[in-house]
Amino acid sequence: MGNKSLSRREFLRRSAVAGAGVAAGLHGLTFETVRVLAAPGQQTTTLRVVSGQDITEIEVREAIAKMYQEVNPNVEIEIMLITGSRDESQTVMLAGGNPPDVLYLNPWFQYIFAQKGVLLPLDAYIEADNYTFDGISPVAVEACRYNEQMLSMPFEVSPAGFVFNKNLFDAAGVPYPPTDWESEDWTWDNLIETATKLTNEEERQFGVHFENWMYPTLLYQHGAQVYSNIKKITADTRCVIDSPEAAQAFQLLRDLRETYKVAPSSSAVQELGGFDRFMSGKVAMFSYGRWLNTFRTITDFEWDVVPFPHVKDRDPACTLYMLNYSIYSGSQNADVAWDFLKFLLTQSPQEANVATGMAVAALESVNASPAFLDSMPPEHNIVYSDALQWAHPEPILDGNFDSVLNPHLDAIFNNTTDDIPGTLAQAAADVNAALDQWRADNGVT
């Protein structure tokens, strides 16, 4: 989006080496690799697995590779590090004759890859092995299906909540919010009351900061949607963000900033984003997920996590963010890759990941284990795992319409329009025109 509060997608881009567009200029990108060598003297298969460049993430992937090789000594794993955005980097790997076997996916480009035939369907493997998804988060499993096929396997999930500065609460004599997603005492009205007590205009301290890119959570909480369906664009797919309920959701976000003034204004966010404000002790509550273990570097104050408030008389709701793995449709090592994907959903790899503070396990039993619950801070990791009951998949299609939708949403976020319903109506009209063109271009009738 158009302000300095990073979108999740932009955060992921910046956490790697500076990205570039999928164009001719991309052929100059290089990809660093990390090899975890097989036992000497073995006849080996090299399995090429993509990873992000976060240091903790690389360490976890190396540890998991070694775990796998303990029971599969004839497999050498080559970890291919992205250089740039996740979708663009892997597109270059595939187009440049340097393909991985195992792709590293987020839903915001997974369905586009699926639509282009990049992902190998896994159903034949699942049937041959009588593989079941018992004990694996159902909402995560469903997010990995596309066009009635299983095209990826979930690895980690992470609904978000509010991380909060306990020192600011203590100094103001304000009780900590409830940790129960269904608490009747934790509605948006309660949050506004709490945030008001934690806002100090003279100190440029705010009670809350809600990230713009998390707006789907507010939509779900108000009973609204971005699209009439997710994943596959059909003849009936429409943008429905112009509903009265969606307008209420965006109005709430506007009111936090401009009416109640408990959150940084749109102009203030341009100067300094919510992450930097929270890390410097100037925001009491900040919306984010467990995947950002940078919070564990905080030494100036104590922090914890609480659920998002819910809209009064409505069920709680939040958005499911996740990381999946899939097999490249052109892989020469698909059988080994499938075995590796199954291994990723076993106890040890899942525990190794969550113990670092990285997200929530797709294998539900791990989220009840000490590896997850006792991996602190935060103290209440259970807030993130309990959120899975209320999590909705991201509003993602197999075509990308961000460039059409986002300018309209930026006008709302940046307070350059007073007509939220009218802006959403124009957004829906423009996206629906783009959807019609996409269908025409892709032969969808």
Name the residue ranges covered by the structural domains of the chain: 8-157+321-393, 160-320+401-442
Q: Which residues lie closer than 8 Å to 257 by C-beta, 6 or more apart?
A: 263, 264, 265, 266, 415
pLDDT attached to residue 269: 86
pLDDT in tens, the chain (445 residues): 334 333 444 444 333 322 222 222 223 334 566 767 666 666 689 999 999 988 999 999 999 999 999 999 999 999 999 988 999 999 999 998 889 999 999 999 999 999 999 999 999 999 999 999 999 999 999 999 999 999 999 999 999 999 999 999 999 999 999 999 999 999 999 999 999 999 998 899 999 999 999 999 999 999 999 999 999 999 999 999 999 999 999 999 999 999 999 999 988 888 889 999 999 999 999 999 999 889 999 999 999 999 999 999 999 999 999 999 999 999 999 999 999 999 999 999 999 999 999 899 999 999 999 999 999 999 999 999 999 999 999 999 999 999 999 999 999 999 999 999 999 999 999 999 999 999 999 999 8
Give the pair of three-digit tokens for residue 313.
Answer: 């008389």
> How many CA atoms, within 13 angstroms, populate the side-chain half-sphere of residue 325?
22
pLDDT attached to residue 54: 87
Please name every residue paired with 383 in a beta bridge, in sequence order, or none if there are none: none
CATH homologous superfamily, domain 160-320+401-442:
Periplasmic binding protein-like II (3.40.190.10)
CA–CA separation, 116 and 291 (whole Å): 28
Whether the predicted model's global pTM rises above the 0.85 cut: yes
Per the CB < 8 A criterion, the answer to whether 238 and 439 are in contact is no
Q: Which residues lie closer than 8 Å to 347 by C-beta, 6 or more apart?
A: 363, 365, 366
CA–CA separation, 226 and 212 (whole Å): 15
110: burial class by Cβ within 10 Å (0-12, 13-18, 19+)?
Answer: buried
Q: Which CATH class for the 8-157+321-393 domain?
A: alpha beta
pLDDT attached to residue 243: 98
Q: Is 419 helix (H, G, I), strand (E, B) or coil?
A: coil
pLDDT attached to residue 6: 39
Domains 8-157+321-393 and 160-320+401-442 share a fold: yes
Which amino acid would we find at residue 152? S
Q: How many residues does the chain have?
A: 445
pLDDT attached to residue 283: 98
pLDDT attached to residue 16: 32
Per the CB < 8 A criterion, the answer to whether 38 and 44 are in contact is yes
Give the pair of three-digit tokens for residue 129.
Answer: 């092995």
Q: Is 360 helix (H, G, I), strand (E, B) or coil?
A: strand
Q: Which residues lie closer than 8 Å to 1 by C-beta, 6 or more apart?
A: 7, 212, 213, 406, 409, 410, 413
Relative to beta strand 149-150, strand 360-361 is: unpaired
356: burial class by Cβ within 10 Å (0-12, 13-18, 19+)?
Answer: middle
